[in-house]
Structures are given as C-alpha cells and as structure tokens.
Amino acid sequence: MKRRSVEPVYSMCVQPSFIIGTYNEDGTCNFAPITWVSATGVGSDKYMLVISMFGSKRTKQNVIRERKFSANLVNTSMLPLMDYFGTKHKAGDDEAEPEYGVGVGEALDVPTLDDSPWVYECEVAEAVQTGESTTFFCHIRNIQMDENLVCEDTFDVDLTVLDPVIYSGRYHSLGKMLGKIGDFRMKAYEDTSDRKAILSKFHRNVVIMYALLFIGVIVSFIGGLTVLSNPAALIVGLLLVFVSIFFGFASGAIFCPFCGGIISRQGFGEYCRHCGEKIY
C-alpha cells in the first residue's frame, strides 16, 4: 500500500456517537451530542469512560457542576435526535421538537433517552484541562443495555445489534461482525505447513513436560515411602518436578502457541479459551 504525507488538518478520528444527558441549574433536562468518547482501563476488569468537551457549552458546565451524566449511545434511528440536539441552539427555539422519551438512571439521578440501546451512567472522578478542552475521567456506575442484546462476557458485544452511529466528520454505520480476537490468525495458519510445524513442536514439548512431571511424581512418591533408606530418590523426584515446570515455561508448553496466553481449554479440551485456536 502506497501512502502520501499530508498536513495534520484532516480529522479522521473514528468515534462512537453519544448524546450526553445532564440537568440544568433549574432542574430541566439537557441533552447534547458528543463524539469525543472513549474508555481506559484502570484494573483487570474495570474501566472508566473518558469524554472530552470543548469550549464553554451548557452541557460541559452541567457536568462540571453536577459531576455526573448519562452517555446515551446513538443508533441510526436516533440520527434525527442527534441533529436536533446538535443544531437546535443555532436554529432557534422555534424549531419543531421531535418526540422522544426521557427516563432516569437506575444508579444515578441523571436523565436518559428511552430510544438509546446502550446507556452509561457516569460519575466524574477527575477532570483534566487542555487548552479550551476538558477531559473527564468517569466511573461507570451502571450500564443499561437493550434487553435483546445477549453478552456472554465483557467483550462479547455485537455492535451490529446496537447499530451505533460512527462519526468521523460525517455519520457512518457498521456493516457486519467479522469475528473475534484470534479468528483471523487461526485462519491464516489453518491447514498450512507453518501451522502444522508450530503444533508439532508444541505437542512435543507438552509430551516432554508431562513425562518429566509424571516421572518426577512417581520417583518422589517412592522416595517419600523410603525416605529413611533412600532420601536421594525423593530429592531426584522433586528436582524432576521442578525441571518439568521450568521446561513448561521455557519451551512454551503451557502457553497457547498462537496467542501466547496460558492455556485454558474449552469444549473437549481442543480449543484455547483466549483466542479460540484449535491446539489439540
């Protein structure tokens, strides 16, 4: 692929579209479209929502004052609302208001949009000022998701069901779900000599590791029974056990040869749970 260099004036930032819900000082609901939304990890299974706002818009002031808000994911059917909330102040208050339902968060007192298939209820933990932009790092106190969406684990979210609007200067939608992590590496190695060589070496190392471990356990058991008359057997057996563990780590026998994760088998012990790769 040939590329060319251009000035950094192009805004090709692929961003999900959200409508942020806050309360004004008089208690009325305020909704505004924001696309500078992302996430960052803060622990093994924890993450925070990160949202940036420019200037001094009312929504930004509400978030600074209340330190909480809802982030309502916009799907393609909500584009009229996205445009309405994004342009109503420019067009004037006489513009016809589309119909939309408003709810309230289950964990936080924040206004939510009934039409959104995925809603974050967020509480601000920290705000960082960069020029005229403020970036909020937020605890996610609750997520409301479309009841038709079924997630088996943290990352098993089918975005084609949510049908989100992606913004990069213009609106875009998603096509189809292509797969999960490891699917394409697996396909690249499938039925190839490289794949067979990788698995052959892996299986050989696994056999060696378990053979050393088995012999070590047997010798240790025998040495344990005759520790007074034959303590050397116990020492040799334990050494073989430690050697088998060391060999397993050093040779990669306890790691998936394709994704590098510690093997956690699924199904009939044939697939790596991390990447789905067939290893036996």
| CA 139 to centroid of chain Cα atoms | 15
| pLDDT reported for residue 91 | 46
Give the domain ranges of the chain: 15-172, 183-272
| pLDDT reported for residue 273 | 67
Give the separation between CA 116 and CA 118, rounded to whole angstroms: 6
Q: Which residues contact 116 (CB under 8 A, 6 or more apart)?
A: 19, 72, 73, 74, 75, 78
Q: In a 3-state reduction of DSSP, which class is residue 31? A: strand
Residue 166 φ then ψ, to 5°:
-105, 130
Q: Which amino acid is at 137?
A: F
Give the separation between CA 269 and CA 280, rounded to whole angstroms: 7
Q: What is the CA radius of gyration of the chain?
A: 28
| pLDDT reported for residue 99 | 86
| pLDDT reported for residue 189 | 56
Averaged pLDDT, groups of 10, the chain, 280 residues long = 80 86 95 92 83 91 96 94 79 67 95 96 95 94 89 75 87 80 60 72 85 83 71 79 81 78 62 72
CATH architecture for segment(s) 15-172: Roll (2.30)
C-alpha dihedral sign at 192, 194, 198, 203: positive
